[in-house]
Every structure is written in C-alpha cells, then in structure tokens.
Structure 1
Amino acid sequence: MPAERHQRPKRHSSGGGNDRAGSSSKTASGHKKPLPLEKRSADGIPGLSKLKGSIRQTKRLLAKDNLEPSLRVQTQRRLAALEADLATAQKRDVERKNGAKYHAVKFFERQKLTRVIKRAQRKLGGEKKLSGKKLAKAEAELADARVMLNYVLHFPNTQKYISLFPSDAKDKAKDGGDDDDDEGFKLPPLLSQSADGLDESARKRREMLLETQRLMGEGKLSATPEEEGAGAARRDVDIAPKAVVAAAAEEEKEASDAEDDFFEG
C-alpha cells in the first residue's frame, strides 16, 4: 500500500506536468499572448485592429441607458482619446504602405530629374555661352527640373503618388534598370500647362507642383534640391494644397467607415 501511495502521486504529477507543458506551449505559440499586430508601436500607439475593437466596445458601453454619469464622462473621454490614436495609427499605416509601394517609381524619377539638372547646368556653364531663346530655354529647364525634384522628394506618403512621367516610370520598373542616356529627354510642360481638360490626377499633380514652386520661392524648400539628395532629412513642409489634403482625408475616412460597418454588421 505504501508503494501504491508513492506511485499515485507520481502518475498525477506526470499528468499535471503534461498539462502545464501544453499550456506553456500554447502561450509560446501565441494563443494566449496578443498577436504581433496588437503590440504597441514605437510611438506607444496600439495597432489598428486593437484600436478599432476598443472603440467598438467603448461605443457599446456609451449606448447603455443606465450608465452612471461619472462613468459616462470617463468613457466619453476614453473614446475621444482612442479616436485620436486611431487617426494617428491610420496615418502611420498609410505612410508605411505608400512609402514601400512607390519607392521604385520615385527612385527612377529622381534619377532622371537629377540628370536633367546636370545637363542644364552643363549647357549654362559651358564654354559656348548661350544667348536669347537657347539661354531662356536652358534656364527654364533647370528651374522646372528643380521644382519637379522637390515634388518627388517631398511628396506626402499619406497620399497615392502621382507620377511625373507615368509611362516612362512604368517601363523602367518593368525593365528593372536605369537608362543613363537622357540627353534626348524633354521635360513635359507640367508647370505651364492649363488646368482645362485635365483629369483629376493630372489636376492634383499640377496643383502640387505649383505649391512646390511657391514654397521654393518663399525659401521653405531648397532652391537646389539636387545638392541635398534623397538622404537629406525631409523638411516639415506639406506640398499638398488644403483642398487636395481634405479630399484624400475624406477618401480614407470613407474607407475606414466602410470597414467598421462591415465588422459591426
């Protein structure tokens, strides 16, 4: 009998140990721990899914008729804070996605514009002095190329990038290469074109180019962006006019509301 008493605890201990091992395995595999998307980011704000879930729960609590006044005030404050965090998290998420999506197109356009600037500088600084129309043309080309380069460097990642040379950028992206021979390339008249007859994307691009040109004239953007390069710190300047920013924000809000309706429905 004593032997049996001694064996039974062993069997019980073994079974309990297996249960604990299984529980530990579940924890390690992520079943009980928050998923990676739920972790707080470097700025201390949770992920989108967790924020949206918290907002839905908070709204359900506020919908209760018997909620105490003091608790209702606290919950309303919590909702306001959560919605502010959600706006920040959505902006961060859009910037990350757009930054990765349009990296190649921006790279090709930046390289092309840098070479156009160097070409114009060679013409203006060459031994053979330009005059008249040729001088004015080279100066205009240099000025336009610098505006366009600032456009590429400072285009906000909160918006879908509107290419300066759509067909050319697509061809380069497909080839996976970069053509060093841009001597015959001519800048499109994007700054001087009329807004009449332009589609929505072309109109937005024109507005942002003109805004970039204005900011350069005020000294808020570099007059020689080719000297700063892509590695330079971005200036805290938004080249998107308020109307363009408002339209983009409205599109993002509609998409977010549609997603929330889907989960709540």
Structure 2
Amino acid sequence: MPVDNKKGKTRSSPYKKPKPKPAQDGEQAGPSRPRPTHKIPTVEQRSGDALPGTSKLKGQIRQTKRLLAKDTLEPGLRVQTQRRLTSLEADLANATKRDVEKKNGAKYHMVKFFERQKLLRIIKRLQRKLKEAEEPKSDKKLIKYKEELEDARVMMNYVLNFPNTEKYISLFPPSSSSQHESSTKEPKLTIPPLLRPPPTSQQLEGEYDKSAKRRYEILLEIRELMQQGKLSENPEEEVKREKKEKVSLVSTEDKFTSKNTKGGEKGEDEEEDDFFENDDDEEEE
C-alpha cells in the first residue's frame, strides 16, 4: 500500500472497490445489485426457424430429466426444471414437425408442380368451353362444365394447400396412365372423377384403400373451406400471379448477373412451363 510521506497516511488504491454503506435505521440491508432473472419465452413467441436441432434438444431433455431424478433438488428449483422440461418437449415436437415439412416439401415438389400444370390446362380448357356453351344457351353443357370447373379448382387448392406433414397423395396416379402405354397417341388430359359422382359408403369401405380415403377426405375439407371463404375460389389466378412475380424477379437478377451474355439458360421450371404451354397450344389447334 503506498504511503503519503507528508501526512503519514496511506493512500487508497484506485482499483479498490468502495465499501457498501451501512443500512440506516428502518431500512433493511439487501444485496448491492439485483439478482439476474432469466425468463424463458413461451413456445408461441419462438419461431420454428429459431429452434435448435432435434439432437441438441434431445440432449437437453436428457440432462433435465437427470436433474429431476435427484432427491436432493430444492422444491423451487424442481418447479423451474419441470417447466423447462415441458418447454423443451414442446420445442422438440415443433422441431420434428419442421424437419418433416422440410423433407416432404422437397420430396414432392416436382409431383405437385406437374399436377398444378395439368390442372391449369384443364381449367383453361373448361373456361374456354364454358364461354362457347353460353352462346347457344345449352343448359346441360353449362351445368357439366361448371361442375367440372368447380372440381378442378378444388383440386388446385388441394395441391397448393396439401399439408407437408403427410405423404402427398397424387391426384393423377401413374396406374391410370399405364393402361395407355401401348397406344401411340397420348390420351386427352381430363379431370379425375374423385368428387363426382360421390362414392358410396360401400365403395369407401371396399374399393378405396387408405390413401384414397384420405385424399377424398382432404378434398371434401378443401371444398368446405372454399365455400366458407377461407380459401380462394380462383386459385389459378394466384398461381399465375406468383409465376409473374417469379419471372420478374428472375429477369431483374439476370440484368445484373448476365449483362454481357446474349441469352441465359432457362431453369427447370421455365422449361417445364414452356412444355406445358406448347402442349396446350397444340391441344387448342
């Protein structure tokens, strides 16, 4: 400790912490600073992307269960640990659901894309036929085309809103097209008879398998949501709007990336769009 020679007193070190003041009469002595509190956010406040991986969550759950297994754990800490365990289990369920949705979304992307394009062609053809049938005012054709157009839009919403937590059930199974492999000309694309006529209870129990029953249930749910106004009645317009936004975004990116090139290569989606558009033009002819 340095000593002041003039006065003979020790000088206080600049690094020494000041002593806390003693409590006065009527005041309770407490800690000098508040205790840190950590509040775990609820499951609703946390997004799925911010959650850690399933392996890390499983490790945290194991550690929490080991801590709860101790008999010497204080009651207050036991309550906090139990709450933490409940929160971690909810996070694990959300993380598992997120992984399944991501996996199924990538796995069935192409199947959904092709079925969406087929339904767009069917809707376009039915709209054209509906306009042609309005001129001679044939009621039978009008009713038939309106019903088919309604079913096609229900199926379009089926493709767009199918839950990624489940295995995708195709609307155009390959078994139906395998019968025409021997024919030289490809059969005309028609809407599958999944909603009209409605199947009887005997058909649902005997002829329909598990996947066909589930597909029919989802189609009925989609149609009910459309009638309630919770889903779009014209899903083809949303698909076209998204396609235009995607094309405009790609074109703006190409301006910056390929200024000196004469023409860029098309992506898979653009080539497939051209294929369906050319096929549709041939069908109109």
* TM class by smaller structure: 0.5 to 0.7
Please name the residue that 2:163 is paired with: 156
Please name the residue that 1:222 is paired with: 232
Shift in CA distance, 117/211, structure 1 to aligned 2, threshold 3 Å: same
Task: Give the TM-score taking structure 2 as reference length.
Answer: 0.59
Deviation (angstroms), 1:183: 7.8
- Say which is worse superposed, 43-52 or 120-129, in terms of deviation: 120-129
Supply the distance in 2 between the matched residues of 1:64 and 1:230 (Cα, whole angstroms): 61
Supply the distance in 1 between the matched residues of 2:109 and 2:241 (Cα, whole angstroms): 13
Matched, 1:187 2:191: yes
Please name the residue that 1:37 is paired with: none
Which residue of the other structure, out of 145, 150, 156, is the alignment partner of 2:152? Answer: 145
Contact 1:116 1:182 in 2 (8 A): no
Higher helix share: 1
Deviation (angstroms), 1:149: 0.2
Contact 1:98 1:159 in 2 (8 A): yes
Contact 2:48 2:98 in 1 (8 A): no
- 1:45-69 alpha-carbon deviations (Å, 9 max, x no partner): 1111000111111112212222221
Gaps of 5+ in 1: 1-39, 172-180, 233-265
Contact 1:109 1:169 in 2 (8 A): no
Supply the distance in 1 between the matched residues of 2:152 and 2:219 (Cα, whole angstroms): 11
- Say which is worse superposed, 151-160 or 184-193, in terms of deviation: 184-193
Which residue of the other structure, out of 83, 91, 105, is the alignment partner of 1:99? Answer: 105
Q: Which has the larger radius of gyration?
A: 2
- 1:171-226 alpha-carbon deviations (Å, 9 max, x no partner): 8xxxxxxxxx9982222221123333211111111010001001111111111100
Shift in CA distance, 219/230, structure 1 to aligned 2, threshold 3 Å: same
Runs ≥4 residues deviating over 6 A: 168-171
Gaps of 5+ in 2: 1-45, 179-184, 243-285
Task: Give the TM-score taking structure 1 as reference length.
Answer: 0.63
Deviation (angstroms), 1:169: 9.8
- 1:87-126 alpha-carbon deviations (Å, 9 max, x no partner): 1111111111010000010001000001000010010112
Supply the distance in 2 between the matched residues of 1:206 and 1:80 (Cα, whole angstroms): 37
Q: Give me the CA root mean square deviation.
A: 2.6
Supply the distance in 1 between the matched residues of 2:193 and 2:121 (Cα, whole angstroms): 17
Contact 1:48 1:89 in 2 (8 A): yes
Matches within 5 A, 1:170-181: none
Supply the distance in 2 between the matched residues of 1:215 and 1:80 (Cα, whole angstroms): 34
Deviation (angstroms), 1:168: 6.9
Deviation (angstroms), 1:155: 0.7
Supply the distance in 1 between the matched residues of 2:71 and 2:186 (Cα, whole angstroms): 70
Matched, 1:202 2:212: yes
Shift in CA distance, 193/54, structure 1 to aligned 2, threshold 3 Å: same
* Secondary structure at the counterpart of residue 126 of structure 2: helix
Query: What amino acid is aligned across from residue 190 of structure 2 in structure 1?
Result: K
Q: What percent identity do the matched residue pairs reach?
A: 65
